[in-house]
Amino acid sequence: MKIENQIFRSCLSALALLSTLEGGVSSAQDAPAAIEGLISQTRQSVAAITSSGRDGEASGVGSGFFVGSEGYLVTNFHVTGEGRPFTITLPGGKKLKPGEIIAVDREADLIVVKVEGGAPAGLKLGDSSMIRTGQEVLTVGNPLGLNNSVARGVVAEERQLEGRDMIQVAMPIEPGNSGSPLVDEDGQVIGIIAIKSAQSLGFAIPSNTLKRLLANPDPMGIKRWLRIGSLDRRVWKVATPGGSWRQRAGRLISSGTGTGFGGRMVCLSTAKEPGETFEVSVDVKLEDEAGAAGLVFHSSGSDRHYGFYPTNGALRLTRFLGPTLFEWTVLATVPCPDYQPGEWNNLRVKIQAHEITCSVNGTEVISLEDQELGTGQAGLCKFRTPSAEFRRFKIGKEIPAAVLAPGDREKVRKLASEIDPRRPPAPEIVESLAGYGAPVIRELKARSRELEKEAFRIKHLSTLVHQRLIEKSLAMVLGKPDDDFNLVHAALLLSKADNPDLETEPYLRLLDRFAEELKDRLDGIGSPGERLQGLIGYFNSDLGFRGSRMEYYSKANSFLNEVIDDREGLPISLAVLFIELARKTGIAIEGIGVPRHFIVRHKPPGGEASLIDVFDKCRVITIEDASRLSGVRLAEADLVPGSKRDILERMVRNLINVATLEQDVQSLMRYLDLALVIRANSAIDRWQRAVLRSRTGQPAGAASDLDWLIENHPEGIDQGSVESLRRRLRAQGF
């Protein structure tokens, strides 16, 4: 399960970076000050452009840049597409609306858009006829969705490409760079990135082509431009400015926000309300329950109407007499268990003279009288930022029910329960269900969702039970005194936490067979050095274990069963197996954790000790080699052998780091639980788990961890933060 970045920023800040795995991370060099200034200047004028596909969903991200002082945005024609909506986002996250298409050149792949609102300062256009081969250039764009990324390169040459003058550039270009400015050392735009040809090779449209386009504008209003998904004006009339309404596959999709208070958007049906007694109905689905969207009726314009809509899980009837909050009256707000968050819900309003009756999915929720507004037009409304979809809007004297009556609902559910999951549904059951008409589909889908939720709850319960069994098994293995437990068995249990089907016993028996085979190889060899070489040869050549370099950060390299199966892993997982084989054959090997790496030491009785890098084909190394591997200067005093518990803790720490990088909170919680089985007094793990629990709906567990931290007052933990979080939970009743 993924969680939002802000949760990780707040609760994972104290976790080690991924570089604390058995390896390092390189860093980029800083650009010279002059280049930094040029990059900063260019970035301010570059925007991300998100275009929409024919289904209305985002279809890709490109780039654009501002020129001049009139709010003109330049990009490739293929970035926006023709007649399609697109959004413009500045580096700080501010969104600008396209107001007018100033000029288009389909052949040159250029479009110029004038935006509404405050546009940033534009870049200056240079003279592309003055470019020279080898000239240094840079661009700022959004390659692969990585906003405001910089690429540097050189001009290769000018050439004709499919009959067009183009500038060939040698620089990294990826999808999302299209429409980026090609800037020279003076900060002037000499081209517009358009085509990626090969690795670090692409083409830009010369700036002089853009100059000619700007000199011959052909303005077009954005409403004329947006043809894809445009509303049928004979049926619908947009009554409020701001936001957008579009039509797709029989649905009306409302996105953005209106310019008035609350972001209200209204779209009215051109059909008049049929008298004083009538019904109006629609199916609505909210993108986010923090939004609100539904029906309006008795409208005499954009500001005066009634509205019935879901908002934050409740249903609300409001009277609007004007554009401001002081002219709005909430007539009723009621909870409704029949409302299905995130699903299609049928809203229905029945008007009889001055009596207003509102229903959701066939259940009446509001009934009252109000005489403030007379008849007018009915339609749709949306508030706040989240988008909403509407379908099956109907208005008439009487509208057929969109949902089943309660008695029919029970009959349908009974018929559905009679289906044998091992066989296709009997034709007579299908025929009986079809007899209820279209509303039966809604009921069957509702029942399906209920069963899916029940299945999810049971599956989640099985996951929790499995985790608890692993914790108990691990505690039992670790329960032996004096660190005298089976490290391989404990490491396999860490793997089993992620793989419930894993059987640990076959791997333990396999290691026993390896050890017996190795004993036979070493039979009769008495020299400690020769026995060590025999172990190394068997481990490397016969068994084929090796360090994993291609997929270093894969979890598989930490799961001991997969390391044994695939014969590759991290330094620490390989070392655990190497140490176990040595132990079983009487060879003195101990594990040593150094920063960013894990090595072993052969320490024969009365003999000279030697360091071994198991990851690198069991190469014998010096302390200087170990220093280079760890990235810090090491002395003999730093080479402290780790206990079995130390090694196991480091293995689970690697898993914690990978889960942090992948933002996999479910796995992270599981690894923190295991870390606290290994080290019950680990304050950092306790604190991280407390914050995660508080953010993921486990306040009681969070309170328990916080109480432990308050009682034990461990070093390295900010007690102010601990007590602040505990007060918030206490205020919630925990």
Give the lowest-confidence range in 10-14, 524-528, 546-550, 705-709.
Answer: 10-14
pLDDT tens digits, residue range 621-665?
999 999 999 989 999 999 999 999 999 999 999 999 888 888 888
| pLDDT of 308 strictly over 50 | yes
DSSP 423: S
Q: For the chain, how many structural domains are there in total?
A: 5
Residue with the bigger pLDDT between 409 and 709: it is 709
Instruction: Classify residue 427 as left (phi > 0), alpha (psi -120 to 50) or beta.
Output: alpha
Contacts of 28 (CB under 8 A, 6+ apart): none
In the beta sheet, which residues pair with residue 58? Answer: 52
The span from the CA of 561 to the CA of 538, in Å, is 19
How far from chain centre, in Å, is Cα 411? 42
The answer to whether position 24 is within a domain reads no
Of residues 404, 300, 315, 405, the one with CA closest to residue 368: 315
Confidence grade of residue 92 (pLDDT, cut at 50, 70, 90): confident
φ, ψ at 222 (rounded to 5°)? -65, -30
What's the whole-number mean pLDDT along residues 63-79?
93
Specify the pLDDT at position 700: 93
pLDDT band at 191 (very low <50, low <70, confident <90, very high): very high
Examine the domain organization and report whether 107 and 78 are in the same domain: yes
Q: What is the secondary structure of 188-218 as a DSSP string?
A: EEEEEEEEEEETTEEEEEEHHHHHHHHTS--
Contacts 24+ apart (CB under 8 A), 536-544: 536/612, 536/618, 538/581, 539/577, 539/578, 539/581, 539/614, 539/618, 540/617, 540/618, 542/517, 543/514, 543/567
Which of the four pLDDT bands, split at 50, 70 and 90, describes residue 80? confident
End-to-end CA distance of the chain: 25
Q: What angle do CA 253, 255, 261 make, to 5 degrees?
A: 130
Do both 447 and 376 map to the same domain?
no
Same domain for 554 and 680, yes or no, is: no
Pairing of strands 388-396, 251-258: antiparallel
Q: What is the mean pLDDT of residues 343-371?
A: 93
For the record, the structure tokens of 513 come out as 């067979």
Q: Could you tell me which residue, 126 or 177, shows the higher pLDDT?
A: 126
What pLDDT sits at residue 199? 64
pLDDT band at residue 530 using 50, 70 and 90 as cut-offs:
very high
With 60 as the cut, is the pLDDT of residue 318 above it?
Answer: yes
Report pLDDT for 244.
81
Instruction: Give a yes or no: residue 18 inside a domain.
Output: no
Q: Which of 1-5, 213-217, 570-574 has the lowest mean pLDDT?
A: 1-5
420 pLDDT band, cuts 50/70/90, is confident
Tokens coding 655: 């898993």
Residue 75 has a pLDDT of 94
The lowest-confidence range among 29-33, 88-92, 549-553 is: 29-33
Give the mean model confidence (pLDDT) for residues 222-232: 69
Whether the pLDDT of residue 564 is over 90: the answer is: yes
Q: What is the pLDDT of residue 390?
A: 96
Q: Is residue 464 part of a domain?
A: yes
Average pLDDT, the chain: 87
Q: What is the pLDDT of residue 30?
A: 41
Tens digit of pLDDT for each residue in 98-131?
989 999 998 899 999 999 888 999 999 999 999 9
> Which DSSP string do the residues of 118-157 spell out, in sequence order?
-PPPPBEE--GGG--TT-EEEEEE-GGG-TTEEEEEEEEE
Of 368, 403, 438, which one is at a domain's C-terminal end?
403
Max CA distance (Å), the chain: 106
User: Are 571 and 698 contained in the same domain?
Assistant: no
Bridge partners, 155 (sequence order):
169
The pLDDT score that the predictor gives to residue 145 is 62
Question: Based on the number of CB atoms within 10 Å of its own CB, is 129 exposed (0-12), middle (13-18) or buried (19 or more)?
Answer: exposed
Position 708 scores a pLDDT of 95
Overall average pLDDT of the 554-570 stretch: 92
- The number of CA neighbours under 13 Å toward the Cβ of 296 is 31
pLDDT level of residue 582 (50, 70, 90 thresholds): very high
**Between 99 and 19, residue with greater pLDDT:** 99
The answer on pLDDT for 358 being more than 90 is: yes
**What letter would DSSP give residue 142?**
-
Last residue within a domain, chosen from 403, 423, 446? 403
Rounded to 5 degrees, what are φ and ψ at 625?
Answer: -60, -45
Residue 651 counted as domain residue: no
| 217-231, 361-375, 521-535: least confident range | 217-231
32 falls in which pLDDT band (50, 70, 90)? Answer: low
Is the domain of 319 the same as that of 464? no
Q: Which of 60, 33, 64 is nearest to 148 (CA)?
A: 64
Q: Are strands 568-569 and 546-547 parallel, antiparallel or unpaired?
A: parallel
Where does the pLDDT of residue 198 fall: very low under 50, low under 70, confident under 90, or very high at 90 and above? low
Q: What interhelical angle do 487-498 and 665-678 show, nearest 10?
A: 160
Instruction: Please report how many Cα atoms fall inside a 13 Å half-sphere around the Cα of residue 246, on the Cβ side.
Output: 23
Question: What does the alpha-carbon distance between residue 204 and residue 165 come to, in Å, rounded to a whole number?
Answer: 9
pLDDT band at 403; cut points 50, 70, 90: confident
- Does pTM top 0.85 for this prediction? no
Q: How many residues does the chain have?
A: 734
CATH number of domain containing 88 = 2.40.10.120
Identify whether the C-beta of residue 379 lies closer than 8 Å to the C-beta of residue 282.
no
Do 487 and 603 fall within a single domain? yes
- Residue 364 has, within 13 A of its CA and on its CB side, a CA count of 6
Domain assignment of residue 687, yes or no: yes
Please provide residue 100's backbone torsions phi and psi, each rounded to the nearest 5 degrees.
-155, 140
**End residue of a domain, out of 478, 500, 522:** 478
CATH of the domain at 522: 3.10.620
The model's confidence at residue 195, banded by pLDDT at 50, 70 and 90, is confident
Q: Residue 318 region, left (φ>0) first, then alpha (ψ -120 to 50), else beta?
A: beta
pLDDT at 397 over 60: yes
CA 541 to the chain's CA centroid = 43
Confidence grade of residue 61 (pLDDT, cut at 50, 70, 90): confident
**CA proximity to 72, closest of 109, 129, 110:** 110
Predicted pLDDT at 8: 41
Is residue 162 domain-shared with residue 210, that is, in the same domain?
Answer: yes
CATH code, 286: 2.60.120.560
Q: What is the CA radius of gyration of the chain?
A: 34
Percent of residues, the chain, with pLDDT higher than 90: 56
Contact at 8 Å (CB) between 727 and 706? no
Residue 465, in any domain of the structure:
yes
Q: What is the pLDDT of residue 578?
A: 96
Is 491 in the same domain as 628?
A: yes
pLDDT at 229: 55
- What range defines the domain where residue 317 resides? 236-403
Check if the beta carbon of residue 664 is closer than 8 Å to that of residue 670. no
> In terms of domains, do 708 and 669 share one?
yes
Q: How many CA atoms lie less than 13 Å away from 61 in the CB half-sphere?
A: 16
State the Cα–Cα distance between residues 377 and 276, nearest whole angstrom.
12
pLDDT classification of 450: cutoffs 50, 70, 90: confident
In tens, the pLDDT along 671-687 reads 999 999 999 999 999 99
User: Do residue 314 and residue 378 come from a single domain?
Assistant: yes
Residue 497 lies in a domain: yes
Pair (465, 558) in one structural domain: no
**Together in a domain, 191 and 67:** yes
Residue 699 included in any domain: yes
